[in-house]
Every structure is written in structure tokens, then in C-alpha cells.
Structure 1
Amino acid sequence: MKKITDERLVLRNLQNTRIVYIVQTFGILCILGYELFINGIEAMLDNPVWLVFMISGIVAAYLSMSISVEHENKIRNPKKSFIFSTLIILSISVLVSYLITITPNSELSQGTLIGVILFICFLIPNVYIYRLRMKQLIDLDDLEE
């Protein structure tokens, strides 16, 4: 198979891939919706298609993050943005942890566990964006020299 070098054909191929991804995602959502209505949420979450849907959604989000960092008009201070967003994530995690702790029939350990998991889940994309911005800053510094 010969590699495509024409930019128009490469762009069309990327657009076709995007359309296929949209159709595939729609199909997965239809299958999961059917499973939800017939057997309930437990069966839907136990379905392996749910795992495929979640993994593909996470991968798509990370890929779009790398594009959005490169598309930013204004160069931001990566360290300042990282510290600010980490403080916001920490505040939200502590708040959720506290709210879970004060609900009836829940314990301090449950609230703490959910707060820590929430913090880690939001910290990972935050670190990823920080690294992308630092790489972009280093690349711009190299171009100026």
C-alpha cells in the first residue's frame, strides 16, 4: 500500500475517520441505551461496550487537549496556571469530600476516599496540560534563538 502524500487526500482521509468515529460512537450509545432500558443501569455498566465507550472518550479528550494547547492564542505561564487550577481542584475535592461525609449513612473514610479519587482524576489531565504548555514554551524559546 502506497503512502498518501497529497494534502487534500490526507485531509479527506482524516475527515472520513472522524465520520466513522462519530457513527461508531452513536452505535455504541444506541447499544448502551437499549441495555439501559431493557436491563437497567447495572447491566449497562457491566457491559464491555461501556468500557470501550469510556476509553475512547478519554483518548479523544486527551487528543483534543493537545490540539487546544497548540491552538491557544496567548502564551500562558504554565506554572501559574498549573498552581491555580490545582488549588481549584483541591478545593472542589475537599468540598465534595465534606458533603459526602455529612450525608446520613456515610463515614469519614468514604468521603475521604471519594475526595482523593476525584482529586487524582482531575489532577492527571491538569499535569498533562502543564507538560504540553511547558513543551510549547520550550519549543518557542528554541525558535527565537
Structure 2
Amino acid sequence: MQKIKDERLKLKNLKNIRVLFMVQTIGILGILGYDLVTKGIDGMTDNPLWFVFIITAIVSAYLSMNISVDHETSGKSPEKGLIISLTVTALISIVIGYLISLSEGTPATTGILIGGIVFICGAIPCFYVYRLRKRTMDN
């Protein structure tokens, strides 16, 4: 198989891959929706396609972050953006942890644990975008 050298054909190939990705995602969502209706939320999340869908969504989000940072034109400080992002993430985590600890029958440690998990899961993309912005500023 020969490498494609024509830019128009490369672009058409990328568009075809995008359409295939959309069809695949719609198919996965259809199967998961059927499982949701027939087996409930537990049946849907037990399906291995659930993990494929979640991993695909995460990878797609990270790849989109890379493109959006490259598309930014403003010369804002990456450090300032990181501090703002981490502050908002911390506030959201504190609110979620507090609301969970207020629910009846739930110990405060559960709220702290879930708030910490939400913070870590929110901080990872913040640091990733910071690293991308820092790399773009250095270039």
C-alpha cells in the first residue's frame, strides 16, 4: 500500500474517518441505550461497550484540547489560566463534597473522598492544558 501524497485525498480520508467515528459512536450509544431501557443503569454500565465509550470520550476530549490550545491566539499567561482553572475546580469539588456529606446516611468522609476524586479528575486536564499552553508559548 502506497502512502497518500495528495493533500486533497488526505483531507477526504480524514473526513471519512470522522464519519466512521460518528457512526460507530451512534451505534455504541444505541446499544447502551437499549441496555439502559431493558436492564437499567447497572446493566448499561456493566456492558464492556460502556468502558469503550468512556475511554473514547476521554481520548477525544484530550485530542480536542490539543487542537483548541493550538488555535488560541491570545498571549495570556499560562500560569494565570492554571491558577484560575484550579481555583474553579477546587470550588466545585468543595461544593460537591459538602453536598454529598449533607445527604442523609452518608458520613462526612465519603463527601471528602468524592470531593477529592472530583478535584483530581478536574486538575489533570488543567495541568494538561497548562503544559500545552506553556509549550505553545515557548515556541
Cα distance in 1 for partners of 2:28, 2:103 equals 35
One-letter identity of the residue aligned with 1:55: I
Residue in 2 that maps onto 1:115: 115
Counterpart residue number, 2:34: 34
- 2: CA distance between counterparts of 1:98 and 1:36? 30
1:101 is aligned to 101
Corresponding residue of 1:60: 60
Separation in structure 2 between the aligned mates of residue 86 and residue 41 of structure 1, nearest angstrom: 32
Q: TM-score, normalised by structure 1?
A: 0.94
Rounded to whole Å, the distance in 1 between the matches of 2:38 and 2:96 is 33
> Who is 1:133 aligned against?
133
Query: TM-score under structure 2 normalisation?
Result: 0.98
Within a 5 Å distance, the mapping from 1:13-52 to structure 2 comes to 13-52=13-52
Quote the Cα distance in structure 2 between the aligned partners of 1:84 and 1:41.
35
Matches within 5 A, 1:60-99: 60-99=60-99
CA distance in 2, matches of 1:25, 1:77: 36
Q: Could you tell me how far 1:36 is from its partner in structure 2?
A: 0.7
**Residue identity (%):** 50
Q: Deviations over 1:72-93 (max 9, x none)?
A: 1212210011011101111111
Task: Give the number of equivalent residue pairs.
Answer: 139
- Which runs of 5 or more residues in structure 1 are unaligned? 140-145
* 2: CA distance, partners of 1:48 / 1:103: 31
- 1:40 match: secondary structure: helix
26-35 or 97-106, larger mean C-alpha shift: 97-106
Gaps of 5+ in 2: none
Q: Distance in 2 between matches of 1:36 and 1:96?
A: 26
Whole-Å Cα distance in 1 between the matches of residues 35 and 119 of structure 2? 31
Which 4+ residue blocks in structure 1 deviate beyond 3 angstroms?
Answer: none
Distance 1:71 1:6 in 2: 24
Q: Deviations over 1:79-133 (max 9, x none)?
A: 0110111011111111111111111111111000100000011100000000000
